[in-house]
Homo-oligomer: A and B are copies of this chain.
């Protein structure tokens, strides 16, 4: 199966450093940093390709920043929402909100739309930044 990249592990472990969504270029820089020695890091192209594939495969979550940049994060497999600190950027996962089920049913009934899906994201100021 897997048409995996030789850098999957380094990309994923860069994403695990710190609780935040990271851009492709940040991931690239993190990998370069993690290599103290003369070892050559993957090219930016490869990091773009790897993140793109990992997102398609569902290994990482992807969102768009307010500025349109694409950000990635390694997340739990269970259904969850994201909560981002507007001050420091830290991200938390919060458990799926059951209430959404009723809202979806109502929207479906009200509008006649089918195959409804949704996206629910939170932001706030984390305890450290407050």
The residues of A with any CB-CB pair to B shorter than 8 Å are 64, 68, 70, 83, 85-86, 92, 94, 97, 99-100, 102-104, 106-108, 110-127, 130
Contacts and interface: CB of A to CB of B under 8 A. Distances in A.
Contact of A118 (B108, B121, B126): B121
Given A68-B68, A112-B127, A118-B120, A97 B103 contact: yes
Nearest to A122: B118
Contacts of A119: 119-121
Contacts of A112: 126-127, 130
Nearest to A65: B64
Copies of this chain in its oligomeric complex: 2
Given A94-B110, A113-B126, A118-B122, 14 more contacts: A64-B68, A97-B106, A99-B99, A99-B103, A103-B120, A111-B124, A111-B126, A112-B130, A114-B124, A114-B125, A114-B130, A116-B122, A116-B124, A119-B121
Nearest to A101: B99
Given A70-B68, A99-B103, A117 B110 contact: no
Contacts of A125: 113-115
Nearest to A112: B127
A124 to B, nearest CB: 4
